[in-house]
Amino acid sequence: MRALIFDFDGTILDTETPECLSWEKIYHQHDQILPRNLWLSAIGVGPQDAKFNPYTHLEELLGTSLDHEKLRALRRKIFYRALDNEPIRPGVTDWLEQARARELPIGLASSSPYDWVHGHLERLGLRSHFSAVYTSDHVERAKPHPELYEKTAAHFGVKPQECIAIEDSYNGVTAAKAAGCYCIATPNPMTVTMDLSAADRIVGSLAELSLEQLLS
C-alpha cells in the first residue's frame, strides 16, 4: 500500500447526522416527516447524481411552494449549531500521524465542494496532513463514480489498487471499490444501517484498528 485516501463528510467529521437532524426539524415544523430512506440514498453522492432534494420533496408534501432562501437560512442555523459540537471522528488523527510517520502520502476524495471541505479541514487543524484534496469541483462525476479515487491516486503516481480508502457510506464504498482501492468502512450513526458489505473491512471507528495493525 503506497497511499491513504480519506473521504471527508461522515468519515473525518460527522456532518451527516447534524444535517439530517436539521432537516428533520424543518419537516417537523411543517408537520411532516422526512423519510430516512430517501435521505440516506443521497449520502456520499455528487450533486449531479442526487435524486433526492429535500426542498422540492417538502413542497410536494405540502402542495405549495416555499421560500427556499428563508428555509435555507433557518436550516443552516440549526445545522451549524449542532455541527459546532461535533469532534473529529475517533482514530482519524492517529491514522494521519501514523501515515505521516511512515511517509505515506495522504489524499482526500470528497463528493462535497472544495470550499466546504477545505474550510473544515482548516478549522479542525487537519489541512496540512493532506497533500492532495479532490472534490466534486475537480471531476466530471463524483461518487459513486470512481473518478475521485482514480484522480487522487494518479496525483501520487500510484495505482488505485495500491491505495487504502477510508469511507463511511454505501456510495463512497462503491466508488472506492470501483476504482480498485482496498476499502475500510467506518460508518457513523447515520450510515450504520447501510449495506457496506462491499468494503474489505468494516470497523465502528478507526480507533478500533490502527494503521500499523492493518499494514503489518
- Spatial neighbors of 206 by CB under 8 A, at least 6 apart, are 89, 90, 91, 92, 94, 95, 166, 184, 186
Residue entry with cell 488505485 = 160
For residues 172 and 146, is the Cβ–Cβ distance under 8 A?
no
Residue entry with cell 482514480 = 150
- Spatial neighbors of 126 by CB under 8 A, at least 6 apart, are 12, 88, 93, 96
Q: How many CA atoms lie within 13 A of 145 on its CB side?
A: 15
Closest CA to 40 of 19, 11, 13: 19
Query: Which residues are tagged catalytic?
Result: 7, 9
For residues 145 and 175, is the Cβ–Cβ distance under 8 A?
yes
